[in-house]
């Protein structure tokens, strides 16, 4: 499946949706944004050792069957052997993904809810 942007969000828009401070508070450890890896479409967070995660806006103009396909396609969540949990989610016309290095689905859900709240 090819994903494309009709318009790219600004880096400030992306970082407001899930700040490093919000990520840290939910995850329970200090994390920072990896500025060299983050860009207009994705934001990476790093904690101590191998702790961290990723947030990415896939599209801001999702609608119809194409939106459903993006949410349900193979690869919309990390493979079980990766050590990550995550998935692809929707808030209005915005489809985004969140993944974290964790085994705690409650932390993942809290991150998703924070992103949804900030994208309204």
Kindly report, residue by residue over 61-95, the tens digit of the pLDDT.
888 888 888 887 776 788 888 889 999 999 988 88
Buried b (16+ CB within 10 A) or exposed e, 98-114: bbbbbeeeebbeebbeb
The two tokens of residue 120 are: 């309204």
Q: Which fold has domain 11-119?
A: Protein Transport Mog1p; Chain A (3.40.1000)
Which residues are CB-contacts of 25 (< 8 A; sequence separation ≥ 6)? none
- Domain ranges, ordered by start, for the chain: 11-119
CB contact at 8 A, 95 and 67: yes
Single pTM value for the model: 0.84
**Residue 14 banded pLDDT, cuts 50, 70, 90:** low
């Amino acid at each position: 499946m090819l994903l494309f942007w009709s318009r790219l969000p600004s880096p400030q828009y992306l970082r407001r949706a899930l700040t490093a401070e919000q990520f840290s508070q939910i995850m329970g450890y200090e994390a920072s944004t990896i500025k060299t890896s983050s860009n207009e479409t994705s934001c990476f967070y790093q904690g101590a050792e191998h702790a961290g995660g990723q947030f990415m806006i896939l599209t801001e103009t999702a609608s119809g069957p194409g939106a459903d396909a993006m949410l349900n396609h193979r690869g919309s969540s990390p493979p079980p052997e990766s050590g990550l949990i995550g998935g692809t989610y929707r808030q209005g016309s915005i489809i985004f993904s969140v993944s974290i290095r964790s085994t705690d689905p409650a932390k993942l859900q809290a991150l998703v809810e924070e992103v949804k709240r900030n994208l309204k």
